């Protein structure tokens, strides 16, 4: 049984309105196998801008662009080679105010694990309204239940771990960053932990919030966008081969 070690990173990039060069430099330093973005560009040539960013990071775009609801999943060439399926699941919500106009959804890819089996990776950006977050999470939980695979969910949950939607997710996913409890927002003076990488129980993961990288100082990283990135080291166990049947 061969395990698959993955570096999984999530980052809300605020539409690349701040310092995209710092974003790209930090990601190149951290070299994730999978990068899940929230608030990826949605206007002014969003697909072209996302591809430009991916090239600067040395990654490939698996999902993202004009119809992706601000979500994007990028991958290293090696991880991209394991792609089986990909898709965007819209999550409708009631229009109650200006914030609820922002389109929500789930971006997900299904990867083949080199040691055998599949891995589903989902990117989410939950709403500011609690009722809308719960609708989103219940849709996500249905997809997890039907996946038949190990699962990684990452993104901007827009609430603290003790709140309702995060608590619902905790019934089906493990939170490897809970013990450290490092805040992720706002980037310059982080006080709230609202970004996370969550995993199904069969996965082994360690998580940290990134505050600087070898080529991006703490101050420059804090100005890259309004969230700090979260980086997880995840080990995906391969499927154990069936023992040969005894001859008669």
Q: Indicate if the pLDDT at residue 60 is higher than 80.
A: yes
Q: What is the pLDDT of residues 216-227, one digit of tens each?
A: 999 999 999 999
CA–centroid distance for 191 within its chain: 21
In angstroms, the first-to-last Cα distance of the chain is 27
Q: What is the pLDDT of residue 95?
A: 82
Q: What is the pLDDT of residues 157-203, one digit of tens each?
A: 999 999 999 999 999 999 999 999 999 999 999 999 999 999 999 99
Q: Spell out the domains of the chain, with CATH numbers in brackets.
A: 4-236 (3.60.10.10)
Q: What is the pLDDT of residues 31-52, one digit of tens each?
A: 999 999 999 998 889 999 999 9
- DSSP labels, 119-186: EEEEEEE--SSHHHHHHHHHHHHHHHHTT-SEEEEEEE-SS-TTSHHHHHHTTTSB-TTTTT----BS
pTM for the whole structure: 0.94
- How many CB atoms sit inside 10 A of residue 210's CB? 20
Q: Indicate if the pLDDT at residue 128 is higher than 60.
A: yes
Length of the chain: 248
Q: What is the pLDDT of residue 66?
A: 87
pLDDT tier, 103 (very low <50, low <70, confident <90, very high otherwise): confident
Q: What is the pLDDT of residues 176-189, one digit of tens each?
A: 999 999 999 999 99
């Amino acid at each position: 049984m061969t395990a698959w070690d993955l570096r999984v990173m999530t980052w809300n990039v605020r539409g690349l309105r701040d310092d995209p060069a710092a974003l790209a430099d930090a990601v190149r330093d951290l070299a994730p196998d999978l990068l899940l973005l929230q608030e990826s560009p949605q206007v002014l040539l969003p697909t072209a801008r996302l591809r430009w960013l991916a090239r600067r990071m040395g990654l490939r775009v698996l999902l993202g662009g004009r119809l992706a609801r601000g979500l994007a999943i990028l991958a290293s060439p090696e991880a991209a080679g394991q792609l089986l399926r990909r898709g965007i699941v819209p999550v409708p919500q009631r229009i109650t105010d200006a914030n609820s106009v922002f389109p929500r959804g789930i971006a997900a890819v299904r990867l083949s694990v080199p040691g055998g089996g599949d891995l589903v990776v989902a990117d989410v950006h939950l709403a500011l309204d609690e009722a809308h977050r719960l609708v989103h999470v219940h849709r996500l939980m249905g997809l997890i239940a039907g996946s038949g695979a190990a699962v990684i969910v990452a993104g901007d949950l827009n609430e603290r771990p003790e709140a309702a939607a995060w608590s619902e997710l905790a019934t089906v996913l493990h939170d490897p960053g809970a013990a450290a409890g490092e805040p992720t927002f706002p980037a310059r003076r982080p006080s709230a932990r609202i970004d996370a990488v969550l995993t199904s129980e069969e996965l082994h993961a360690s998580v940290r919030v990134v505050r600087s990288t070898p080529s991006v100082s703490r101050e420059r990283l804090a100005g890259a966008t309004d969230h700090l990135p979260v980086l997880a080291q995840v080990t995906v166990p391969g499927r154990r081969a069936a023992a040969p049947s005894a001859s008669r």
